[in-house]
Amino acid sequence: MSSAPPVTPSRPSSNGAVHAQRPPTGSANGTIPYKDSDSNALWAVVSLMLGILVAVLGFFALMMWADAHNAKDAANRAAAKVSKAAAGATSDLGALRSYAGAAPSNADALAAAHKPFSAALPAAPAGPVADVNLTLKDVTVQIAPGVKYSGWAWAGGAPGPVIHVRQGQLVKITLTNKGAIPHSVDFHAARIAPDKAFGDVMPGKSVSYTFRANDAGVFMYHCGTKPVLMHIANGMYGAIVVDPKPGVLPKADKNYVLVASEWYLSSDGLKAPAQFNMDKAHARMPDWMTFNGYAGQYVKHPLTARPGELVRFWIVDAGPSIDTDFHVVGTIFDNAYPFADLSSPTSALHNVQTVTVPAGGGGVFDVKIGKPGLYPFVSHAFAAVDEGQVGLLKVGNVKGTMSH
Ligand code: CU
Ligand code: CU
């Protein structure tokens, strides 16, 4: 470029027009006057080329400027829109403010005094028939230290009793409704016409139905009366374990059942029991998330195992709406049976870290931990941990507690 004539870079003017400097030679209409001299001719050609280049560059500069200008306008409009939306969202979210973390000053003492829901799997009944009696009841339940909730649940609170049967057993369900409104019970372990078995039971009445537990796994049961979202969120859910035939699962030394669920509160529940908040439930913005109905209860009261024992977790995610990403901190699942498929030993995954248990589904997870210590189990979707879905597996005789 050093031998070329000086060229002023074209710039957009303030009104967007471009003043591209014309080449120093050439006529107004761009034709080149004839010259005898080769050097003059060459010069003319070079000048023309430069002129075209400058015009082209100018054109692109204009386009880029216009583009940038438009982009800036669009960005400004979008920003205005976003800040307007954010202002609206803030006020909407204000109405859905989470009460997670609400606690009285003696929360720690209350957590220590709380009698945890037994996570130990009860024995399956002997014989060909498993009789299961369930009673629905309107009860106030404790869902976190000092936090009361006005539930529609079971005689023993929420979740309902852990039911344990063996594959092939006939399960005879008797449901008694001691609540104020109609309820029902839907067993995911059953292959049965729901309109026949899962119908509403009027207050004060009982119904019975049977199903054969032909499918092994861990399954949810729940009230299926409309609005189901509300009946589940109010505490009407539980787990049934169906043992597979021998040979599918390795023998476990410890069996723990955890039912994951969410709570949507109308108030903090500290003075008076909170009630269900449908807006939060629709927005899937729970206040508390729990294993077996009470936030962090196995942090204060850890589940236990000896070093080297095979510990089996039977997980049901009752939802009503949020999945559980089950993970045990400090170890890896030796065997994981996603979706609680126990149809054969080959259903297992091995050496995996975190497995999703869907809302309305189950999962079975084996860990074998050699080193003594405190191993948190969590839903690794970590908002769930902040809202209470965390517990500890205490391996060996170790002191203290921890949160994660
Ligand atoms: Cu119900
Ligand atoms: Cu269901």
- CATH number, domain at 341? 2.60.40.420
Measured from the alpha carbon of residue 154, the closest ligand is 1
Q: How far is the CA of 142 from the centre of ligand 2 (A)?
A: 24
Residue 16: predicted pLDDT: 37
Residue 225 included in any domain: yes
Residue 2 included in any domain: no
Token pair listed for 333: 């699942």
Q: pLDDT tens string for the chain (404 positions)?
A: 333 433 333 333 333 333 434 433 333 344 443 444 455 655 555 565 655 555 555 544 445 544 545 545 544 454 444 444 444 344 455 568 999 999 999 999 999 999 999 999 999 999 999 999 999 999 999 999 999 999 999 999 999 999 999 999 999 999 999 999 999 999 999 999 999 889 999 999 999 999 999 999 999 999 999 999 999 999 999 999 999 999 999 999 999 999 999 999 999 999 999 999 999 999 999 999 999 999 999 999 999 999 999 999 999 999 999 999 999 999 999 999 999 999 999 999 999 999 999 999 999 999 999 999 999 999 999 999 999 999 999 999 998 665 55
Residue 84 included in any domain: no
219-232 b/e with 16+ CB inside 10 Å = b?
Answer: bbbbbbbeebbbbb
Kindly state the helix (H) or strand (E) to which residue 38 belongs, with its residue range. Answer: helix 38-95
Q: Is residue 231 a contact partner of residue 185, using CB atoms and an 8 Å limit?
A: no
129-144 and 147-154 beta bridge pairing? antiparallel
Residue 386: predicted pLDDT: 97
Q: How far is the CA of 196 from the centre of ligand 1 (A)?
A: 17
State how many domains the chain has.
Answer: 1
Give the CA distances from residue 237 to residues 121, 225, 234, in Å, rounded to whole numbers and listed in that order.
16, 12, 9
Measured from the alpha carbon of residue 184, the closest ligand is 1
Token pair listed for 220: 């949810």
Q: How far is the CA of 378 from the centre of ligand 1 (A)?
A: 28
Residues with CB under 5 A from ligand 2 (ion): 186
Residue 10 included in any domain: no
Q: How far is the CA of 353 from the centre of ligand 1 (A)?
A: 35
Residue 63 included in any domain: no
| Residues ≥6 apart with Cβ < 8 Å to 398 | 372, 373, 374
Residue 388 included in any domain: yes
Q: How far is the CA of 304 from the centre of ligand 2 (A)?
A: 31
Residue 288 included in any domain: yes
Q: How far is the CA of 272 from the centre of ligand 2 (A)?
A: 30
Measured from the alpha carbon of residue 226, the closest ligand is 1
Measured from the alpha carbon of residue 181, the closest ligand is 1
Q: How far is the CA of 181 from the centre of ligand 2 (A)?
A: 19
Q: How far is the CA of 300 from the centre of ligand 2 (A)?
A: 31
Measured from the alpha carbon of residue 360, the closest ligand is 2
Residue 280: predicted pLDDT: 97
Q: How far is the CA of 116 from the centre of ligand 1 (A)?
A: 24
Residue 118 included in any domain: yes
Cβ neighbours of 213 (radius 10 Å): 25
Residue 39: predicted pLDDT: 55
Q: How far is the CA of 41 from the centre of ligand 1 (A)?
A: 96
Residues with CB under 5 A from ligand 1 (ion): 183, 223, 225, 231, 236
Residue 70: predicted pLDDT: 53
- Expressed as residue numbers, the domain containing 271 is 110-395
